[in-house]
A and B are shown apart, each in its own frame.
Chain A
Amino acid sequence: MKNNIIILGGGQAGIYAAREIRQNDSKSNIKILGEENSLPYERPPLSKDFLLDKKKAEDLYFHSNDVIKNENIEFENISINKVDFENKKLFAKNDNVYSYDSLLISTGSENKKLTLDNNLKNDIYYLRNLEEAKKIKEIVSNKNKITIIGGGFIGLEIASSLSQLQKKVIVIEIGNQLMGRIIPKQIADLVQNTHIEHGNEIILNKQIEKITKKNDDYEILLNDNSLIETDFIIAGIGSTPTVKLFENTNLKLDNGIVTNQFCETSIKDVYAAGDVSNFYHPFYERNMRLESYQHAQNHGICAGKNIAGVKTEYTSIPWMWSDQFNLNLQLTGICDEYDEIIERGNDINNGVIYFFLKNNKIRGACGVGIIGKVGRDIRITSKLTEKETIVDKQILSDQNLKLNKLVQK
């Protein structure tokens, strides 16, 4: 049967869903509606190789225009401002109307903004998309002392890149550690040391009281009355799922769009995938929302299968990475449900990993090391987690013993 399939959101989840639908369904119309005037592209390099000029915008596309055309996937740059789920229609700002038989929502997430009492809205920069990255790259070339508000992944990756561009960088974090939302303190402290060794200043446990503009520069007043002078401010203080369009509809929302393990929402024929979806994970037996490259890709693929009628549960073990200076940090699974922690290695040059176990099985692990040093062990850990292997703790804790001995074939 030939259907009209619309994918709302032209990011990673959207394009991977589209290609997966096409693999399973050669007839249906597939149309991606994207708010950005660009084919879907990789976001991770924006804060790293793009700022460092090692990658250009054209290096970031997931697939070329030819690939997308060959698979008969339509891509339209359009902004939707109303959804009628009952009559299966989307309305665009320019009065275009799009009818669908199946809809995938992959609108992603958007940056939280600082709430400032004075009119500094346009003076604070954020980084999520290519346009913002281009702007930051252009402006920082003339700036020297840069303040980053928020010590999460994005803030620290930018801090690492700007340090490599010989900028003086200050990171202000409200919590008592960096990357506190998901990274264990032991790992965060190792990353913090590396930033300090490279000359970045890290300020923890401090809140912004006030930002004042002084000619072309700024003064940031912290809650301990200390004052920071800076000539450029970037904020990375987290994100929220992009769901405004659905707020007054029947679509069930709770920290994003609530979906089951098949990417199905509360409305028939409407699916959601990627950052915007608060999905049920059968392995962890709970709902979760993830903002990561691997998740956007795999969740998009899973949604694509389900839309094409190939009923598929989403069971991917979460995995994410961050690259800062010469470090590669990786996290797999969930590191907040455990009754035992096991440490592997104690030198960042050879990699350090913390395993989080519950009932002798790994639930998650987080590691950091010089690039290349933790990836293999973290990948094996994902497999051990997925297979619920009862692990030999001696092997886990001894870096001289290979973890692949633990994997049952």
Chain B
Amino acid sequence: MSEENWIEVGSTDSIEEEDLIRFDHQDKTFCVYKLTDGFYATDGICTHEAVHLEDGLVMDDEIECPMHQGIFNIKSGEALSPPACEDLKTYPVKVDNDKIFIKID
């Protein structure tokens, strides 16, 4: 695991609990979530249609797309409810000195 792949997203207090922020890096968009037990990250675009998940609803470890209500498990990326059927990619997250980092491959 090379250190340079850990990208700083922001400070831990930049996200409210049960909420998310959008994070753009190079040409990709990610969503970084704060759940009751920690921070998680997924791709930022729904796998069903190209819409940003940043405006979606976070509830009970799930992110729901704001456009067509496709639902994904934030921790596993699993597509839980149609029209989404393709899983959402997830990324490792770590917290260091109150800063959130995600590992982009």
Contact = CB atoms under 8 A, between A and B. Distances in A.
Given A319-B69, A321-B67, A376 B56 contact: yes
A70 B55 CA distance: 36
A42 B83 contact: yes
Contacts of A49: 49
A380 B68 CA distance: 14
B66 A379 contact: yes
B57 interface: yes
Contacts of B57: 375-376, 379-380, 404
The DSSP consensus for interface residues of chain A is mixed
A31 interface: no
Contacts of B68: 293, 321
Interface of A: 42, 49, 62-63, 293-294, 297, 319, 321, 323, 328, 371-376, 379-380, 404, 407
A121 to B, nearest CB: 35
B62 to A, nearest CB: 11
Contact of B56 (A319, A323, A375, A407): A375
A326 to B, nearest CB: 11
Size range of the chain B interface in the assembly: 10 to 19
B64 A372 contact: no
B9 to A, nearest CB: 21
A371 B82 contact: no
B52 interface: yes
Nearest to B82: A297
B63 to A, nearest CB: 10
6 contacts: A62-B82, A321-B67, A323-B67, A372-B54, A373-B55, A375-B56
A373 B67 CA distance: 9
Contacts of B52: 372
A373 B54 CA distance: 10
Interface string B29-66: 00000000000000000000101101111010000111
Contacts of A328: 66-67
Contact of A372 (B18, B66, B69): B66
A31 to B, nearest CB: 22
Contacts of A376: 55-57, 64, 66
